[in-house]
Amino acid sequence: MARLRTLAFNLLFYGLTIPVVLAAPLVALAGPRALRRHAEGWARAQGALARWLLDIHVRIEGEIPHGPFLFAAKHQAMFETLELAWRIGAPVIVMKRELTQIPLWGRAAQRYGSIGIDRAGGADALRAMLREAKEARRAGRAVLIFPEGTRVLPGETPPLRSGFAGLYKALAMPVVPVALDSGPLWPRKGVKGAGTITIRFGTPIPAGLSRAEIEARVHAGINALEPAFSAG
């Protein structure tokens, strides 16, 4: 049954994604707000289909602040990319550059305001990311980053990528660490399981801390739902 539910979800969600992406350039002509509402509808559809077909529910813990915050989130599944986008309120999302180069979808992501980072680009890539992120700050938008750099398996707690500390220093924005446990229910491949995904928004961490302190506090915050880490 779980396999059939997963198949039905994939057919409906990705079937919906195609017209959403194709319509994005036309929606963008109406302005950035219209495109963000368009993207939010797509993100909410993912959650609705997950509840209806997969019996996957979301439990939110903590307060979600609004405004120019830097949200640093754990990344275990594609699920949270869309879920956090609408929960936070149309943040600028820092993602690997390859995603912004996917035909049609990549162009829509760029129009939405996503920032593509070349993970092998070194200092030049970091400077480009910082320029775009500062534009988001001037516009009053939040920024969402996955500071571990990629999706990780449940239980993994790798060190943060160096680009996070540079972004934190350049933006001078408070950081909200976000812990979650989507991985066991939403594997990269295979059957999705029923249950509850917890997303925990931590207390904002002020700007201006040293690199060592901000990395330690964010690392602890995004791993707060990892049993081995929290127990230690």
Range of the domain at 133: 56-231
The torsion angles phi and psi of 59, rounded to 5 degrees, stand at -110, 120
CATH code of 149's domain: 3.40.1130.10
Any domain includes 47: no
Buried b (16+ CB within 10 A) or exposed e, 111-149: bbbbbbbeeeeeeebbebbbebbeebbeeebbbbbbbbb
Q: Is residue 222 part of a domain?
A: yes
Asked if the structure places residue 24 within a domain, the reply is: no
First to last CA, the chain: 38
132 in a structural domain: yes
Q: Which residue has the higher pLDDT, 114 or 85?
A: 85
Q: What is the pLDDT of residues 120-149, one digit of tens each?
A: 666 676 777 777 777 878 888 899 999 998
Q: How many domains is the chain partitioned into structurally?
A: 1
| pLDDT, tens only, 27-56 | 888 888 898 899 999 999 999 999 999 999
Residue 12 domain flag: no
pLDDT of residue 137: 80
- What's the chain's average pLDDT? 89
pTM of the model: 0.91
Instruction: Look at residue 109 and tell me whether its pLDDT is greater than 80.
Output: no
36: in domain:
no
Residue 167 CA from chain centroid, whole number: 16
For the cut 90, the answer to whether the pLDDT of residue 177 exceeds it is yes
**Range among 13-27, 106-120, 210-224 with highest mean pLDDT value:** 210-224
Assigned domain for 17 exists:
no
